[in-house]
Structure 1
Amino acid sequence: MEPHVYAKMLLDHATTLKLHTGNLVNRSRLKKKCPSSQSEELQDCIRATLSEWFASIPPVTEPELSRILDCTIPQNTEAITPEEREELKVSVKLFLSESDCSSVRNAVDMACASLGVSQLDSVIIAPPLLSEGENLALAHLQPLWEELEGLVHSQKVAAIGTSDLDKTLLEQLYNWAQVKPSSNQVNLASCCVMPPDLTAFAKEFDIQLLTHNDPKELISAEGFQEAVQESSKDLQVADWRLEWVLRYSIIVKSRGIIKAKGYLIHAKKKIQ
């Protein structure tokens, strides 16, 4: 059976797609060495990982079909050993495409399993985009934050943070939350200088202000489907929807260098 025929069969039968890009510090697997944006990098990673995974499937007469397609290439991934764990900081940012609170725990569990750790040092959450004209409010954040707090209490996560909250919303979350945000990311593309009121509040309550250059939508539904479709011939992708993307970085504490970075992706097929 031709690999692309088998790939189509696998994707047609599956209802869940899990993908780990592996370590991207060595970018030789990507066609584009220097993507122009985070979105382009992610699309390249999805396309390259799926292409490599489909090509690695051994030819069989009667393929085994599963509802869960776990597209991980073992030789591209390297779990953290217990001996080196103390020397490393594992930080992640979780981009949600849907307001499904169970995605928070699922993503953290998948990250811990993929990286070989029992705890992540920090998790920053980026809530899903809202409908046009709707502004992010505390009510949107509360159910997601409660999931994160549960992960802190169960020692799956050490510290939790937010992304793109202004002073008012950060203060509301801080006052309401049991586990306080330890950090807040600010996109300097939208404000060249840190807002003074946000800086003052963060300093008073020991919240670290970080900068980032992620787009509001890391990857669109169309961009995700396009990347999957380009990985092999004749794939049907219209029913697939992205649930979340988790980006991780593993930093050597003593030297401040990135040992590994990559993406975990989770998608579901709409059941007709």
Structure 2
Amino acid sequence: MAKLILSTGNIVSGGPSIVRKPGASNLELINSLKVSFQDAQLDYADEIENLNVDVNGTTTTTTTNGTNNGVHEATNGDSSNSSNPEPVAGPLYWTAQDQTKNTIYVPRIDWETAGLLEERSQYDITVKIFFLPTTTPDVSRRAAYTSEALSLVQKELGGISDVDLLVVSFPGMSFDGDCEWEADKRNASQGDDEAEIATWQAAVEEALYAQGRVKRLGISEFGTEKLARFIKRVQVPPAVDQINIKNCCNVPPPLAKLAKEQNVELLVHSDCTDILPEGTLRELLGPQGAGLLADPKATSSEGLSGNLTPQWVIKYTAVVRNRGVIENKGYFAGAELN
């Protein structure tokens, strides 16, 4: 099994080519990834004909009709001991691979250009991790995903040690209804309380909050009953609850009352829960998209083969405090290729 790490880079500097439309929150992610892939393909186009890549003095070769599907491997195995991602030869030249972690970065990431322009203390940094309907229910793996996702954000923002707010979005949650009362009632039976609490305890409380990597914690799309049950069973209650009220216009009065009593800040958002559907990801990376995946209908096709399953998405935003300006915003996404 291989891991894919997808990244958009800083979309604030992406210009008008990144399409943002109201009411379709995952379009920002999808279009930002498309722009990121296209930019990388252009940036590294001069390497497309280099079928041999020298990694630390070791000549590597590319095969596109064997088991490694266009991903390079060292002839003497030396590169497998390196933890640094290396450029992939051949058609996937615009990606990079960390063979020790069996991870492919799509596209390559130039960490030397990453970072914030000012001191860390000048920013409010918010991250939101989305567990998807296709995310494994295994709590230990969810904890690993959360730690890995946050580490990528920390590295992208110049090696920062912490973030101000982490919001967790669980699958199967929504705030839809003809009115706020109906939406709140429907919400009470959504999701999976046991999985959500176990994930929170293992992935957030113990792994991130206790280590000081996150200053404040939040959840997304929790109505009155869900929030009340959740708070009673966790050691570190959420300081923030994000809800999407686009279809019901108002915050339910019981939720507002509970939030005030429990000192939970209510925030409005426009993100969708299933921000990266499985079919959308395969289309994005397939032969008609970025060309990373092999065409399953072709007898001979370059690219990666296997079942692709998105596991998580993390969104990050760095706002300059004294100016209220978003300086850095982007996404990472993780998927597994079996």
TM-score range, shorter chain: 0.7 to 0.9
Check conservation: 1:20, 1:265, Cα contact below 8 A. Answer: yes
Q: Output the CA distance in 1 between the equivalents of 2:18 and 2:320.
A: 26
Residue 88 of structure 1: aligned partner:
123
Q: Output the CA distance in 2 between the equivalents of 1:72 and 1:166.
A: 40
In 2 relative to 1, CA 216–234 (structure 1 residues): closer, same or farther, beyond 3 Å?
A: closer
Check conservation: 2:309, 2:336, Cα contact below 8 A. Answer: yes
In 2 relative to 1, CA 232–76 (structure 1 residues): closer, same or farther, beyond 3 Å?
A: farther
SS of aligned partner of 2:259: helix
Measured after TM superposition, the shift of residue 80 of structure 1 is 2.7
Check conservation: 2:171, 2:191, Cα contact below 8 A. Answer: no
Give the one of 87, 104, 110 matched to 1:69.
104
Check conservation: 1:225, 1:238, Cα contact below 8 A. Answer: no
Which moved further from structure 2: 153-162 or 50-59?
Answer: 50-59
Q: Which has the higher contact order (CA 8 A, sep 6+)?
A: 1
Give the one of 147, 151, 158 matched to 1:109.
151
Q: Tell me if 1:167 matches 2:224.
A: yes
Measured after TM superposition, the shift of residue 260 of structure 1 is 1.1
SS of aligned partner of 2:314: strand
- The structure with the larger Rg is 2
Check conservation: 1:92, 1:247, Cα contact below 8 A. Answer: yes
Q: Output the CA distance in 1 between the equivalents of 2:20 and 2:292.
A: 28
Q: Tell me if 1:42 matches 2:22.
A: no
Letter in 1 for 2:195: H
Q: Output the CA distance in 1 between the equivalents of 2:33 and 2:329.
A: 14
Paired residues for 1:172-251 under 5 Å: 172-229=229-286, 230-233=288-291, 235-236=293-294, 239-251=307-319
Measured after TM superposition, the shift of residue 53 of structure 1 is 2.6
Letter in 1 for 2:150: V
Residue 148 of structure 1: aligned partner:
204
Residue 11 of structure 1: aligned partner:
none
C-alpha distance after superposition, 1:144-167 (max 9, x if no partner): 111100110011111110001111
SS of aligned partner of 1:25: helix
TM-score by structure 1 length?
0.84
Q: CA RMSD in A?
A: 2.4
Give the one of 125, 146, 162 matched to 1:119.
162
Measured after TM superposition, the shift of residue 227 of structure 1 is 1.2
Letter in 1 for 2:114: E
Equivalenced residues, count = 252
SS of aligned partner of 2:128: strand
In 2 relative to 1, CA 267–204 (structure 1 residues): closer, same or farther, beyond 3 Å?
A: same
Measured after TM superposition, the shift of residue 249 of structure 1 is 0.5
Q: Output the CA distance in 2 between the equivalents of 1:222 and 1:161.
A: 29
Check conservation: 1:46, 1:228, Cα contact below 8 A. Answer: no
Residue 193 of structure 2: aligned partner:
138
Q: Output the CA distance in 1 between the equivalents of 2:31 and 2:166.
A: 24
Check conservation: 1:90, 1:248, Cα contact below 8 A. Answer: yes
TM-score by structure 2 length?
0.68
C-alpha distance after superposition, 1:51-109 (max 9, x if no partner): 3334416242324344321224428953136x610010110111112134222222122
Q: Output the CA distance in 2 between the equivalents of 1:79 and 1:234.
A: 28
Unpaired segments ≥5 residues, structure 2? 53-61, 63-71, 74-96, 174-188, 295-304
SS of aligned partner of 1:103: helix
Measured after TM superposition, the shift of residue 234 of structure 1 is 7.2
Q: Tell me if 1:252 matches 2:320.
A: yes
Measured after TM superposition, the shift of residue 17 of structure 1 is 1.1
Check conservation: 2:8, 2:32, Cα contact below 8 A. Answer: yes
Q: Output the CA distance in 1 between the equivalents of 2:112 and 2:259.
A: 39
Letter in 2 for 1:261: K
Letter in 1 for 2:282: Q
C-alpha distance after superposition, 1:23-58 (max 9, x if no partner): 111233x64543452222211122222233344162
Measured after TM superposition, the shift of residue 269 of structure 1 is 0.1
Identity %: 23
SS of aligned partner of 1:135: coil
SS of aligned partner of 1:191: coil
